[in-house]
Structure 1
Amino acid sequence: MKKIKPILILCMILLTGLPVSAHTYSIIPYPKSLIPQEGEYIFKNGQKISFPTEISEVAKEFICRIKTVTGINLVTISESKKADISFTLQKNMANEAYKLHITPTHITIQASTPAGFFYAIQSLYQLMPPEISVNKRTESVNVWNAPCVQIDDEPRFAYRGMMLDVARYFMPKEYVLEFIDRLAAQKINTFHFHLTEDQGWRIEIKKYPKLTSVGATRPYTMVGYKTFHAPIIPDNTVHQGYYTQDDIREIVAYAQKRFVTIIPEIELPGHSSAAVAAYPELSCGIKNRYEVVKTFGIFDNVFCPNEKTFRFLEDVFSEVAALFPGTYIHIGGDECPKTAWKQCSHCQGLMKKLNLRDENQLQSYFIHEVEKIVNRQGKQIIGWDEILDGGLAPNATVMSWRGEKGGIEAAKSGHSVIMMPNADTYLNYYQEDPEYAPIGSGSFLPIEQVYSYEPIPAQMNDRDKKYVLGMEAALWTPYMKNPDVVDYYMYPRFYAVAEVAWTPAEAKNYTDFLARIRKQYARLDLQQVKACRNYFDAYIDGAFNKRTRKFEVRITGMIPGSEIRYTTDGHIPTLASNVYSNPIVLHKNTTIKAAIFTPDGNITGKITEKNFVVNKATGKSYICNVPYRFKPDNPGAKDYSKFNFCGLTNGIKGYLNHVHPWVAIRPTTITEITIDLEKQEQFSSIRYSVLNGYGQEAVAPQETWIEISDDNNNFKEIAHRNFTYHIENKWQIFEHNFTFAPQKARYVKIKLKNGYLPHKLGGFPVPEEKEGSLGMIFIDEVEIN
Structure 2
Amino acid sequence: MKCLSLMPLLAAVIGIVSCNSQSEISYEIVPTPKTMTAGRGSFLINDNTLISLPDSALFNEAGFLSDYIAEETGKRLAVAVKPVSEKEISIDIDKKLPEEGYELTVGSDGVSIRGGSSAGVFYGAQTLRKCLASDPSLPAVKIEDEPAFGYRGAHFDVSRHFFTVDEVKTYIDMMALHNMNMLHWHLTEDQGWRVEIKKYPRLTEVGAWRKETIIGNSTDVPKRYDGKLHGGYYTQEQIRDIVSYAAKRHINVIPEIDLPGHMLAALASYPELGCTGGPYEVWTTWGVSDDVLCAGNPKIYEFLDNVFDEVLEMFPSEYIHIGGDECPKTKWQHCPKCQALISKLGLTDDGVHTKEQKLQSYVMKHVTEYLGERGRKVIGWDEILEGGVAPGAIVMSWRGEKGGIEAAKAGHDVIMTPKSCLYFDFYQGKDVSKEPLAIGGYTPVENVYMYNPVPAELNAEQARHILGVQANLWTEYVPDFRHAQYMVLPRWAALAENQWRDPAVKDYDKFLKAVVPLTGIYDKNGYNYAKHIFDVNASLSTDVELNAIVVTLRAAGDPEIRYTTDGSEPTLESAVYTSPLEIRQASDIRAVTFRNGEKGAEFEENISFNKATATKISLGVQPSDSYKYGGAIMLVDGLRGNTMFSSGRWLGFADGDGLDAVIDLGETVEISSAGASFCIVSHDGIFDAKDMTISVSDDGKEFRDIARADFQQVTEETAATKEHVLDFAPVKTRYVNVKASSEGDVPFWNWLAGSKAWLFVDEIIIR
Superposition TM-score tier, normalisation by shorter sequence: 0.7 to 0.9
Task: Give the secondary-structure state (helix, strand or coil) at the position aligned to 1:157.
Answer: coil
- The answer for the alignment partner of 1:374 in structure 2 is 371
Displacement of 1:405: 4.8
Could you tell which deviates more after superposition, 349-358 or 281-290? Answer: 281-290
State the alpha-carbon separation in 1 of the partners of residues 227 and 58 from structure 2: 52
- The answer for the alignment partner of 1:116 in structure 2 is 120
State the alpha-carbon separation in 2 of the partners of residues 383 and 256 from structure 1: 23
Matches within 5 A, 1:324-339: 324-339=315-330
- Could you list the per-position Cα deviations for residues 450-477 of structure 1 after superposition, in whole angstroms to 9, with x for gaps in the alignment? 3344444455455555444333222233
CA contact (8 A) 2:296 2:339 kept: no
1:321 and 2:312 aligned:
yes
- The structure showing larger relative contact order (alpha-carbon pairs under 8 Å, at least 6 residues apart) is 1
- The answer for the alignment partner of 1:478 in structure 2 is 476
- The answer for the alignment partner of 2:146 in structure 1 is 154
Could you tell which deviates more after superposition, 197-206 or 59-68? Answer: 59-68
CA contact (8 A) 2:262 2:292 kept: yes
- The answer for the alignment partner of 2:591 in structure 1 is 594
Task: Give the secondary-structure state (helix, strand or coil) at the position aligned to 2:512.
Answer: helix
- Could you list the per-position Cα deviations for residues 693-732 of structure 1 after superposition, in whole angstroms to 9, with x for gaps in the alignment? 542457899999xxxxxx9977799xx9999x9x997746
CA contact (8 A) 2:419 2:626 kept: no
Displacement of 1:574: 2.3
Displacement of 1:518: 1.9
Task: Give the secondary-structure state (helix, strand or coil) at the position aligned to 1:145.
Answer: coil
CA contact (8 A) 1:317 1:377 kept: no
Task: Give the secondary-structure state (helix, strand or coil) at the position aligned to 2:476.
Answer: coil
- The answer for the alignment partner of 1:211 in structure 2 is 203
Match 2:90 to one of 82, 86, 92: 86
- Could you list the per-position Cα deviations for residues 709-763 of structure 1 after superposition, in whole angstroms to 9, with x for gaps in the alignment? xx9977799xx9999x9x997746799999x9xx9888999999999999998x7
- The answer for the alignment partner of 1:138 in structure 2 is none
State the alpha-carbon separation in 2 of the partners of residues 268 and 506 from structure 1: 35
State the alpha-carbon separation in 2 of the partners of residues 451 and 249 from structure 1: 34
Task: Give the secondary-structure state (helix, strand or coil) at the position aligned to 1:267.
Answer: strand
- The answer for the alignment partner of 2:104 in structure 1 is 100
- The answer for the alignment partner of 2:33 in structure 1 is 31
Task: Give the secondary-structure state (helix, strand or coil) at the position aligned to 2:472.
Answer: strand
CA contact (8 A) 1:270 1:335 kept: yes
State the alpha-carbon separation in 2 of the partners of residues 81 and 545 from structure 1: 58
State the alpha-carbon separation in 1 of the partners of residues 740 and 506 from structure 2: 51
Displacement of 1:263: 0.5
Q: Which amino acid aligns with 2:147?
A: P
Q: Which amino acid aligns with 2:180?
A: I
| Distance change (3 Å), C-alpha of 1:429 and 1:20 | farther
| Distance change (3 Å), C-alpha of 1:347 and 1:74 | same
CA contact (8 A) 2:254 2:320 kept: yes
Displacement of 1:557: 1.7
Task: Give the secondary-structure state (helix, strand or coil) at the position aligned to 1:184.
Answer: helix
- The answer for the alignment partner of 2:698 in structure 1 is none
1:74 and 2:62 aligned:
no
Match 1:267 to one of 255, 258, 273: 258
Match 1:364 to one of 361, 364, 370: 361
Could you tell which deviates more after superposition, 442-451 or 158-167? Answer: 442-451
1:62 and 2:65 aligned:
yes
Aligned length: 732
CA RMSD of aligned residues (A): 5.1
- Could you list the per-position Cα deviations for residues 90-135 of structure 1 after superposition, in whole angstroms to 9, with x for gaps in the alignment? 34433222221111231122235322221111111001137xxxxx
Q: Which amino acid aligns with 2:273?
A: L
Question: Quick check: which has more Rg, 1 or 2?
Answer: 1
CA contact (8 A) 2:101 2:116 kept: yes
Matches within 5 A, 1:629-708: 638=633, 651-658=638-645, 694-696=682-684
| Distance change (3 Å), C-alpha of 1:454 and 1:304 | same
CA contact (8 A) 2:211 2:230 kept: yes
| Distance change (3 Å), C-alpha of 1:65 and 1:667 | closer
1:610 and 2:608 aligned:
no
Displacement of 1:267: 0.4
State the alpha-carbon separation in 1 of the partners of residues 608 and 452 from structure 2: 37
Displacement of 1:634: 13
Task: Give the secondary-structure state (helix, strand or coil) at the position aligned to 1:475.
Answer: coil
- The answer for the alignment partner of 1:389 in structure 2 is 386
State the alpha-carbon separation in 2 of the partners of residues 347 and 82 from structure 1: 71
| Distance change (3 Å), C-alpha of 1:759 and 1:285 | same
Q: Which amino acid aligns with 1:363?
A: Q
Displacement of 1:259: 1.0
CA contact (8 A) 1:230 1:694 kept: no
Q: Which amino acid aligns with 1:97?
A: G
- The answer for the alignment partner of 1:8 in structure 2 is none
Task: Give the secondary-structure state (helix, strand or coil) at the position aligned to 2:601.
Answer: coil
- Could you list the per-position Cα deviations for residues 422-472 of structure 1 after superposition, in whole angstroms to 9, with x for gaps in the alignment? 445333344443656555455544544433444444554555554443332
Q: Which amino acid aligns with 1:111?
A: G
- Could you list the per-position Cα deviations for residues 579-611 of structure 1 after superposition, in whole angstroms to 9, with x for gaps in the alignment? 2335254655x532101334x4444x4111223
1:197 and 2:192 aligned:
no
- The answer for the alignment partner of 1:9 in structure 2 is none
State the alpha-carbon separation in 2 of the partners of residues 465 and 736 from structure 1: 43
Task: Give the secondary-structure state (helix, strand or coil) at the position aligned to 2:43.
Answer: strand
| Distance change (3 Å), C-alpha of 1:180 and 1:633 | closer
Match 2:247 to one of 242, 256, 277: 256
Match 1:49 to one of 51, 58, 70: 51
Displacement of 1:250: 2.3
CA contact (8 A) 1:404 1:421 kept: yes
Match 1:244 to one of 235, 241, 254: 235
- The answer for the alignment partner of 2:512 in structure 1 is 514
Task: Give the secondary-structure state (helix, strand or coil) at the position aligned to 2:138.
Answer: strand
1:342 and 2:333 aligned:
yes
| Distance change (3 Å), C-alpha of 1:335 and 1:31 | same
State the alpha-carbon separation in 2 of the partners of residues 713 and 462 from structure 1: 46
Match 1:577 to one of 557, 574, 579: 574
- Could you list the per-position Cα deviations for residues 54-92 of structure 1 after superposition, in whole angstroms to 9, with x for gaps in the alignment? 112321343355457644343444413625222233344
5+ residue gaps, structure 1: 1-11, 131-142, 639-644, 705-710
1:354 and 2:348 aligned:
no
State the alpha-carbon separation in 2 of the partners of residues 578 and 446 from structure 1: 26
- The answer for the alignment partner of 2:488 in structure 1 is 490
Q: Which amino acid aligns with 2:362?
A: Y
CA contact (8 A) 1:630 1:665 kept: no
| Distance change (3 Å), C-alpha of 1:479 and 1:663 | same
Displacement of 1:275: 1.5
State the alpha-carbon separation in 2 of the partners of residues 230 and 270 from structure 1: 26
CA contact (8 A) 1:270 1:333 kept: yes
State the alpha-carbon separation in 1 of the partners of residues 244 and 137 from structure 2: 31
Task: Provide TM-score, normalisation by structure 2.
Answer: 0.79
| Distance change (3 Å), C-alpha of 1:384 and 1:621 | closer
Displacement of 1:255: 0.5
Could you tell which deviates more after superposition, 17-26 or 605-614? Answer: 17-26
State the alpha-carbon separation in 2 of the partners of residues 730 and 428 from structure 1: 24
Q: Which amino acid aligns with 1:361?
A: K
State the alpha-carbon separation in 2 of the partners of residues 320 and 340 from structure 1: 28
- Could you list the per-position Cα deviations for residues 379-400 of structure 1 after superposition, in whole angstroms to 9, with x for gaps in the alignment? 3322223323333324433333
- The answer for the alignment partner of 2:6 in structure 1 is none
CA contact (8 A) 1:100 1:150 kept: yes
Task: Give the secondary-structure state (helix, strand or coil) at the position aligned to 1:334.
Answer: coil
State the alpha-carbon separation in 2 of the partners of residues 630 and 231 from structure 1: 33
State the alpha-carbon separation in 1 of the partners of residues 278 and 107 from structure 2: 70
Task: Give the secondary-structure state (helix, strand or coil) at the position aligned to 2:247.
Answer: helix
